[in-house]
Structure 1
Amino acid sequence: MDAALPIVRVDLWRADAAVLFDWLVSVDLNTVPISHPAQKQALMDLLARFETDTDVVDISQAEIDEAQSAVAQNMGW
């Protein structure tokens, strides 16, 4: 990452981070609908940040399952 570029910090609920990380490592990004290649790159950048800046890389399947249940409870739609 270029240190000269502006950075935006986003605080996520750990369960959201776990769900997103699990999805990002399992999805085939070549099949995700995108309208610009930068969208795919941004998803890859997000995955890289999860891998380097969080502890969700080491969570168990049971923790992922719990996170999915917790996030789904707050869907509201």
Structure 2
Amino acid sequence: MKTNGTRESLPTVTVRLWHADAVVLFDWLMSTDLNSVPVTHPAQKQALADLLSRFEWAADVDVTGCTNEEIAVAQAAVAKEMGW
């Protein structure tokens, strides 16, 4: 597939997440210094930043306005489902 190099022209994928997972991931990404996350390639850090920005503008995922209580409930739900 040829593209003109802009991000808008690149192929995309759709990832379905449990809402609680999205809340936990968004909260973690908002509170994490991406410069301290161990990466083996700079693109990994950029991909995390891109994920954060997608959460911020995704119309179908309301995670940006979650309260501390909602985050705690989501964390408990996700931790309950860990199974390891």
Tell me the TM-score normalized by structure 1: 0.96
Aligned letter for 1:49?
Answer: R
Q: Which has the larger radius of gyration?
A: 2
Q: Is 1:9 the equivalent of 2:6?
A: no
- Name which structure has the greater RCO, CA cutoff 8 Å, separation 6+: 1
User: Which of the numbers 53, 60, 64 marks the counterpart of 1:57?
Assistant: 64
Q: Which runs of 4+ in 1 moved over 2 A?
A: none
> Any gaps of 5 or more consecutive residues in structure 1?
none
- CA–CA distance in 2 between the matches of 1:33 and 1:59? 27
1:21-46 CA distance string (max 9 Å, x none): 00000011111100000000000000
**2:52 matches 1:41:** no
Q: How far is the alpha carbon of 1:3 from its aligned partner?
A: 2.2
Identity percentage over the alignment?
A: 61
Residue segments in structure 2 that go unaligned for 5+ positions in a row: 1-5
Q: CA RMSD in A?
A: 1.0
Q: Quick check: 1:31 aligned with 2:36?
A: yes
